[in-house]
Structure 1
Amino acid sequence: MNLKAWQSLVFQENQQLNCMIEDILINSSNMFIGDQPLRARKIYHDKQCEIGEARLMEDYFVDNSTYDDAIYRRRYQMRRSLFRCIVDVVIANNDYFQQRPDAIGSQSLSPLQKCTGVMRVLAYGTSIDAIDEYLRMSGYTTRDALMNLVDGVILCFGQAPQVSYIVNGRENNRAYYLTYYIYPSWTTFFKLITFPTKKIYKLFAQCQESCRKDVERAFGVLQDRFAFIRHPCPVWDKDNIGRIMIACIILHNMIVKNELDAYLHYYNPTEFLNNMPTNRQPESYTEDDGQPSTFSTEFELEI
């Protein structure tokens, strides 16, 4: 077959193929987007956000509110004054939380509604649409407010302290992390010595295990405070999960610092220097012979 005959054959085959495609497009109406059934339009629901705001203000944020400070602290894991401080700072740095009218002139959700909804989700670990009936806040808005509050907390309060210490006469300005052997061999990762033989290695392993236990206990306290990170996370994006975890750690540290005065009135700190409590009364009971016996609170420390 010469070149001219081959070109003629290719042209005929292309013509046949074009005719087949045109026939399919013309006779098959399902191929056209316009013939597909239209999606139902989203129905607008007037949630009456002002009702949710009025209920929230009456319950927690007005004089002689329905619920006192103790109940607010138990439900939202922080004092009311600290929550208001966080909201004010985040509002000043994020336009998302500023209240403004929508397209039909109705006021949107207030900053207190959005932040309260986020804190309830973090504290109780509930689904994002569980607060719709109380705060008139949809699941989509709650999810959006969650990530905006997380970013605001990290931006406004997440400044890490400067680390500086001297080891073997050399000054270091980077922190080290206590890890297991499964982590990469990076210079900032201090792994556990699996089988310590020398005395100094045994001492190091003992101190490292003690510090790791403290970290694990602290993480347990964090999970107890925020049920959102204790339950299976409803956020599927890995980066968002990391940001939420960082924000929860920052909030936890802020709560501890704000409530530090509540942790200091139980015992006199000097009592631990003498190994004998100074503000406990000895307990007594009556034995079978009728003579009262006294339990001493003194104890000896064994090393």
Structure 2
Amino acid sequence: MKFLKSVDLDDDVEFVKTFFNVVQHIHDEESSNVARTRAVVNRDRQAAHDLLVRDYFADNCLYNDDSFERRFHLNKAIFLRISNALESRYDFFKQKPDARGRMGFSSIQKCAAALKYLGYGIAFDASDEYLKVSERTAVECVDWISACVYEVFHEEYLRKPTHRDIERLYSTHEERHGFSGMLGSLDCTHVAWEKCPNAWRGQFTRGDIAGSNNDLNVLGQSPLFNDIWTGKAPHMTFTVNGHAYKYGYYLGDGIYPNYSTLMKGYSVPRSEKTKLFTKKQESARKDIERAFGVLK
């Protein structure tokens, strides 16, 4: 009986030793794997912020406003307005220390990383060398800025135009492009057309057809045309060559129907007058498309 008890005790001791050896072996393997697969990159985020400020936002910055707008596809004043608005409302865009006491990314760094990706379609880690923003953080920046910009500004800008807005559009387009009563380019609306003729439905819905995202398939249930058809559109009269028109118009290309609210260029201009008109019309359309391309 005593012999059996001693044997049981020896077995228990051996089991405990074996158990701890296995646990220690697993722990050593996990530590070794972490050391092999995770490389710590000591990004100097504050230095990257200071460099960005010296390059674009300081009093005597290295690059002027035109360079900023060309590289970020956004006016610097609008960029700062967006950055400040997001920083004041969302904790994600506030610069704060991490668990080690090191300062995190600033609001302008996160917004710049997101706009670089949105403006150029580059890889998410392409801003790491200059802005020191990792791929994971860049993805978060794009997600946050997309959702937050809509939440903050949609009531002010994503709405039907008022009388004052239409007056400003008339004035701006006439001064810049020479077209009275112009409201914009239809190619930039990205809305579907409820009254699209049945014969044309489905002809331009394939994603691999150039321009299909801007033409007939994106025109359904459009408040632009529904309000005009139902007489709910604002009566904003303008005069051209002595003729008064009740509604404004949008520029379009040859794929659209011949409506009084659409102004198209000539498909085959022959005279000098029609050539000049078509050139001006296409120039204005492309000007608007470039301005709205980044926003879309």
For normalisation by structure 2, the TM-score amounts to 0.47
Instruction: Report which of the two structures shows the higher radius of gyration computed on alpha carbons.
Output: 1
Structure with the larger RCO, 1 or 2 (CA within 8 Å, 6+ apart): 1
